[in-house]
Amino acid sequence: MTDERRPRRRRKVQVVTMTDVAKRAQVSPSTVSLYLRRPEAVSARAGEAIQAAIARLDYVPNMIAGGLAAASSRVVGVIVPSVKNAFFAETVSALQRELGRARLQTLLGHSEYDHRVEEELVRAALSWTPAAMVITGLRHNAATVRMLRSSNVPVVQIWELGAETPIDMAVGFHHEQAGAMAARHLIARGRKTLIYLSSRTHQDKRAADRAAGFLATAAELGIPARHITHPGAATAELGGTLFSQLLAEGGDHDRIGVGCSNDWIALGVLFEAQRRGKRIPEDYAVIGFGDLPFAGSCNPALSTIRPPSELIGHETARLITTRLRCENAPYATSIDTGFSEIHRQST
């Protein structure tokens, strides 16, 4: 029993470390590190030895340690209102597929359309020193914007373009223009009165913008128009409710054009019209927004405005990977993805 001061030791936590690989391959740890990041910078002989050692030892690199040393990690923080919403699900899906190709991983957060939740999610994501941040919309708490700016991390704001200047980059379209297109479409089909059916516009500012664009265009073209909205989430059920409300309002119901802030609402209108024996498009022409999977196959097939959900993910990934590749890639880029008009039987 010696009186010797035993140095306190922490357990070795990781089973196989880079040092183990280096020992086995008879090279130094930094050569292994170099090989992992730029295999072409290492001699063929060393490369093969390292590769063999990795395979043999079943080595999984520790991104946490790498991230700390490099002061930046291979994660991208992505914040959307909700992945239950098919629009964002498509974007997230495309984004993740493309980021994955560049070996970037996705740290996902749902703000639930709440700016305070969003702020917390941004704070949490930034604590991972992410390689980039993706956030939905252009409007955020002041603190969120401040954090994002001072983080020096590339930021892409998605799904919206508008009056506000992006924090860094933006990929999306003008929702007023999408609403305007729906209005023009209905007017072109001879509708005498326009109605906009929407939901949750107090939270979903993009839906509110579409409504505003719809109503403004009707006004410009001298067509009477009004807006029926509801605080609930956009569902087929709510669409039925809104349509019933429209019918209950009475007045002149000759050649009405109905714009919906979302295809789910439009689908509910279709179902409710069917139940009440109203003809679509003869009595009521209906146009939605989203081109959701059912739009082409329902009865009648639904005319709609199709947002480029996948393209937004795709372009966002491209912007991020470009920026990460060369520091001096174009700054403050905005990409207007546009949207398209899908004419089917319901109008």
Contacting positions for a second copy (CB under 8 A): 13-15, 58, 60-65, 67-68, 71, 73, 75, 82-84, 86, 89-90, 92-93, 96-97, 100, 103, 105-110, 112, 121, 123-129, 146-147, 150, 235-237, 239-240, 264, 267-268, 271, 274-275, 293-294, 296-299
- From CA 74, how far away is CA 54, in angstroms rounded? 21
Residue 51: name its binding partner from DNA, a second copy, none (Cβ under 5 to 8 Å by kind): none
Q: Confirm or reject binding of residue 324 to DNA (CB under 7 A).
A: no
Who contacts 61 (Cβ-Cβ below 8 Å, separation ≥6)?
A: 18, 36
Take residue 251 and report the two structure tokens written for it: 């007045």
Residue 41: name its binding partner from a second copy, DNA, none (Cβ under 5 to 8 Å by kind): DNA
Selection from 257, 342, 339, 255 nearest residue 298 by Cα: 342
Write down the least CB distance from residue 161 to a second copy, Å. 24
Write down the least CB distance from residue 304 to a second copy, Å. 14
Q: Confirm or reject binding of residue 152 to DNA (CB under 7 A).
A: no
Residue 36: name its binding partner from DNA, a second copy, none (Cβ under 5 to 8 Å by kind): DNA
**90 versus 315: smaller Cβ distance to a second copy:** 90
Q: Confirm or reject binding of residue 1 to DNA (CB under 7 A).
A: no
**How many Cα neighbours within 13 Å face the side chain of 269?**
37
Question: Which run of H or of E encompasses 80?
Answer: strand 75-80
- Lay out the site mask for DNA across 18-57 (x = CB under 7 A, - = otherwise): xx------xxxxxx-xx-xx---xxx-xx-----------
Among 52, 68, 143, 188, binds DNA (CB under 7 A): 68
- DSSP of 249-292, one letter per residue? T-S--SSEEEEESSHHHHHHHHHHHHHTT--TTTTEEEEEES--
Residue 31: name its binding partner from DNA, a second copy, none (Cβ under 5 to 8 Å by kind): DNA
Q: 3-state DSSP call for residue 166?
A: coil
Residue 17: name its binding partner from DNA, a second copy, none (Cβ under 5 to 8 Å by kind): DNA
Selection from 253, 112, 309 nearest residue 120 by Cα: 112
CA distances for 278 relative to 186, 253, 263, 343, angstroms? 18, 11, 19, 20
DSSP 8-state code for residue 41 = G
Residue 235: name its binding partner from DNA, a second copy, none (Cβ under 5 to 8 Å by kind): a second copy
Among 4, 9, 254, 282, binds DNA (CB under 7 A): 9
Residue 322: name its binding partner from DNA, a second copy, none (Cβ under 5 to 8 Å by kind): none
Write down the least CB distance from residue 59 to DNA, Å. 7
CA distances for 345 relative to 216, 268, 298, angstroms? 25, 16, 10
DSSP 8-state code for residue 299 = S
Which residues on adjacent β-strands are paired with residue 260?
197
Q: Confirm or reject binding of residue 300 to DNA (CB under 7 A).
A: no
Q: 3-state DSSP call for residue 44?
A: helix
Residues that bind DNA (CB under 7 A): 7-10, 12-14, 17-19, 26-31, 33-34, 36-37, 41-43, 45-46, 61-62, 65-66, 68-71
